[in-house]
C-alpha cells in the first residue's frame, strides 16, 4: 500500500506536470496497469520475470506479490490523487505563488493538504479493495489468509466453518481500515462537521449512526 | 527611475491579442487605478506584473529587475527558473478578486505561512507581526477564524494583511471588491485607503470610481489591450480627453 500511495503521488504530480514526456510516461503506466487484470500482473511478476531473465531475477512469491499489488495500486492511486489535486481551486496555487512560494513548496504546504480531504474516501475504498485482492496471491503460493483457508478445507472439507473464519479475518482487517479512514477524515475535515465525533462509540464511527448524531 | 517600468508589453491568448503594446511607469508611493471595459486587458496586465502570466514581447521591470525573465547576451528574453521567479514575486503583494485565502488555515496562519516558509522568519516573529497586521485591518478578534467562517469583506482584509506580511514594495489589487456584497465594499476600501495614506505603491484594477477619484494619483484607461488615456483623477473624470473614455464613463457613472 505504501508503494501504491508513493507511486500514486508521483503519478499524479506527473500527470499534471507541464512536461509532455512525463505526462506521456504516466499515461502509459496507467494504460498498462489499469488495463490488464491483476491476476495476470501477479503471475507476470512472479513467473514471467524469471523466464525473461533466464532465472537471473527470480522474485520470491512474497516480493512478487507485493510488487504486483503495489504497482497496480499505484495506477489507481494516481487517478485518485490527481482528482484530489485538480479539485483544489486554481486560485489557491496562484495565491501561494504570488506570496513567493516555489512550485514544490506551494504544492506541499497549500495544495496537497487541501487535496487530502477529497483523496481520503476513495483511498479508503482502494485500500480495502487491495486488502481483499491479496487473496489472489494464493495463485503464487503466498501463505495469505485465503490460501491458508483453501489448504484447510481441502483437507477437511468443512467449507462453511473455514470460509466463515476466513471472512471474519477479512472483516476484522477491513474494519480496522474503515476506522482509521474515519479518524483521518475527521482530522483533515477542517471545514465541516464530519461523521462521528470523539465521544461516539465504535458503531457511530464506522457507520455514522447512533449516539452522537454526528452526521452533518 | 520608476518603481514599475512597463515597456511595450505584448500578450496573446491563442489568436486573441490581449495586450497590444502597453507602456506605463509607476513611481514609488504612487496609487494608480486601472479602468476599462471587461476584456480590455487590465487584469491580464496586472497578472503579468508578477509573472502569473507570461508575456510575448516587451519588458516589465519592478525596482529595476525583470520579474519573470532574464536578458540573454543576444538581448532576447528567457524565462527564469521557478526559484528566481518566486524570490522576485515575494515582494510584490497581490490581492485577488476571489480572496484566495488558504482554506485549510485560520486567519493568522494564512498571514504567517509565507513569512515563515518563504522568508524564513521565526514563528514567534511572524506571529507577532501577523497579529499586529490583522489588528490593523480590524480583525484582531478573528485571529483563529477559518476563511469559511468570515464574511467576504473580512476575508479580503485577511488577504490584504497576508500580502502585507511579506513587506511588499508594491501591492497589486485585482478587482478587490467585485466579489463582495455592496455593504461590505466600504470596509475593504477603507483598508486600502489607509494603506495608500501610508505611502504604499498600489496598482488597482477596479470599477470603484469613487475610490479612484478619492485615492488615486493617476487613473489609467485601457481599451482593447492599449492604454488610451491616463490623467489625474479630477481631470480624468471631469474632462476626459478621449471619446472612448467619455463613452465608458457615461455607462458606469
Stretch B57-77: mean pLDDT, rounded? 88
| Contact between A98 and B93 using a beta-carbon 8 Å cutoff | yes
Q: pLDDT tens across B186-237, in order?
A: 999 999 999 999 999 999 999 999 999 999 999 999 999 999 999 999 999 9
DSSP state string for chain A: -HHHHHHHHHHHHHHT-S-HHHHHHHHHHHHHHHHS-HHHHHHIIIIIHHHHTTTSS---HHHHHHHHHHHHHHHHHHHHHHHHHHHS-HHHHHHHHHTT--HHHHIIIIIHHHHHHHHHHHHHHHHHHHHHHGGGGGGGT---HHHHHHHHHHHH--HHHHHHHHHHHHHHHHHHHHHHHHHHHHHH-TTSPPS--TTS-HHHHHHS-STT----
Q: Which residue of B has its CA nearest to A112?
A: B104
| Contact between A95 and B100 using a beta-carbon 8 Å cutoff | yes
User: Domains of chain A, with CATH numbers?
Assistant: 1-133 (1.10.3720.10), 143-210 (no CATH)
Among the residue ranges A195-199, B68-72, B247-251, the one predicted with the least confidence is A195-199
Among the residue ranges A100-109, B5-14, B64-73, B117-126, the one predicted with the least confidence is B64-73
Stretch B48-64: mean pLDDT, rounded? 93
Nearest to A101 among B92, B93, B117 (CB): B117
| Contact between A190 and B82 using a beta-carbon 8 Å cutoff | no
Q: State the pairing for strand pair B202-205/B65-66.
A: unpaired
C-alpha cell at B64: 529595476
| Contact between B94 and A92 using a beta-carbon 8 Å cutoff | no
Alpha-carbon distance of A139 to B9, in angstroms, equals: 65
Give mean pLDDT in consecutive 10-residue pieces for chain A, a chain of 216 residues. Answer: 74 79 89 92 87 80 86 89 92 96 95 92 88 84 82 86 90 90 82 46 57 40
CA atoms within 13 A on the CB side of B156: 25
| Contact between A96 and B92 using a beta-carbon 8 Å cutoff | no
Give alpha helix (H) positions in B101-232.
107-117, 123-136, 152-164, 182-197, 209-215
Comparing C-alpha atoms, which of A28, A31, A3 is closest to residue A130?
A3
Nearest to A100 among B52, B90, B146 (CB): B90
Q: pLDDT band for position B136 (50/70/90)?
A: very high
Is residue B233 within 8 A of residue B213, CB to CB? The reply is yes
For residue B75, the model assigns a pLDDT of: 77
Q: pLDDT tens across B138-169, in order?
A: 999 999 999 999 999 999 999 999 999 999 99
Strand partners, B106: none
Nearest to B52 among A94, A110, A190 (CB): A94
> Residue B191 carries which DSSP code?
H
Q: pLDDT band for position B73 (50/70/90)?
A: confident
CB crowding A53-82: b at 16 or more within 10 Å, else e: eeeeeebebeebbbbbbbbbbbbbbbbbbb
Stretch B40-52: mean pLDDT, rounded? 95
Q: Which residue of A has its CA nearest to B102?
A: A92
Amino acid at each position: 500500500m505504501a508503494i501504491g500511495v508513493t507511486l500514486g503521488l508521483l503519478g499524479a504530480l506527473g500527470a499534471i506536470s507541464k512536461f509532455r514526456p512525463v505526462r506521456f510516461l504516466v499515461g502509459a503506466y496507467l494504460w498498462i496497469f489499469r488495463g490488464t487484470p491483476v491476476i495476470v500482473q501477479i503471475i507476470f511478476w512472479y513467473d514471467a520475470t524469471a523466464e525473461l531473465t533466464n532465472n537471473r531475477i527470480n522474485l520470491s512469491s512474497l516480493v512478487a506479490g507485493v510488487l504486483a499489488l503495489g504497482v497496480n495500486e499505484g495506477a489507481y492511486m494516481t487517478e485518485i490523487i490527481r482528482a484530489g489535486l485538480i479539485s483544489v481551486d486554481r486560485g489557491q496555487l496562484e495565491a501561494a505563488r504570488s506570496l513567493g512560494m516555489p512550485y514544490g513548496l506551494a504544492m506541499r504546504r497549500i495544495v496537497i493538504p487541501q487535496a487530502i480531504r477529497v483523496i481520503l474516501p476513495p483511498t479508503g475504498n482502494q485500500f480495502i479493495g487491495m486488502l481483499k485482492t491479496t487473496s489472489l496471491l494464493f495463485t503464487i503460493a503466498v501463505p495469505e489468509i485465503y490460501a491458508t483457508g483453501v489448504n484447510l478445507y481441502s483437507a477437511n472439507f468443512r467449507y462453511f466453518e473455514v470460509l466463515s473464519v476466513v471472512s471474519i479475518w477479512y472483516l476484522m482487517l477491513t474494519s480496522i481500515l474503515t476506522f482509521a479512514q474515519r479518524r483521518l477524515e475527521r482530522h483533515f475535515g477542517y471545514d465541516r462537521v464530519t461523521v462521528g465525533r470523539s465521544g461516539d462509540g465504535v458503531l457511530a464511527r464506522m457507520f455514522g449512526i447512533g449516539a452522537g448524531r454526528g452526521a452533518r | 527611475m520608476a518603481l514599475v517600468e512597463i515597456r511595450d508589453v505584448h500578450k496573446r491568448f491563442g489568436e486573441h491579442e490581449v495586450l497590444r503594446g502597453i507602456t506605463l511607469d509607476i513611481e514609488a508611493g504612487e496609487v494608480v487605478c486601472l479602468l476599462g471595459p471587461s476584456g480590455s486587458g487590465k487584469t491580464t496586465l496586472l497578472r503579468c506584473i508578477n509573472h502569473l502570466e507570461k508575456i510575448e514581447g516587451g519588458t516589465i521591470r519592478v525596482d529595476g529587475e525583470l520579474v519573470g525573465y532574464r536578458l540573454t547576451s543576444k538581448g532576447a528574453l528567457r524565462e527564469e527558473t521557478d526559484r528566481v521567479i518566486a524570490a522576485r514575486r515575494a515582494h510584490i503583494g497581490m490581492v485577488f478578486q476571489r480572496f484566495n485565502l488558504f482554506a485549510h488555515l485560520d486567519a493568522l496562519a494564512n498571514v504567517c505561512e509565507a513569512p515563515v516558509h518563504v522568508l524564513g522568519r521565526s514563528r514567534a516573529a511572524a506571529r507577532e507581526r501577523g497579529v499586529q497586521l490583522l489588528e490593523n485591518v480590524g480583525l484582531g478578534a478573528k485571529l483563529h477564524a477559518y476563511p469559511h467562517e468570515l464574511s467576504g469583506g473580512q476575508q479580503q482584509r485577511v488577504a490584504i494583511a497576508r500580502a502585507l506580511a511579506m513587506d511588499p514594495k508594491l501591492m497589486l489589487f485585482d478587482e478587490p471588491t467585485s466579489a463582495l456584497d455592496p455593504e461590505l465594499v466600504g470596509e475593504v476600501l477603507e483598508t486600502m485607503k489607509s494603506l495608500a495614506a501610508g505611502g504604499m505603491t498600489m496598482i488597482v484594477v477596479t470599477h470603484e470610481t469613487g475610490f479612484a477619484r478619492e485615492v488615486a494619483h493617476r487613473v489609467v484607461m485601457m481599451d482593447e489591450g492599449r492604454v488610451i488615456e491616463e490623467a489625474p483623477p479630477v481631470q480624468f473624470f471631469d474632462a476626459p480627453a478621449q471619446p472612448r473614455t467619455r463613452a465608458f464613463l457615461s455607462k458606469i457613472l
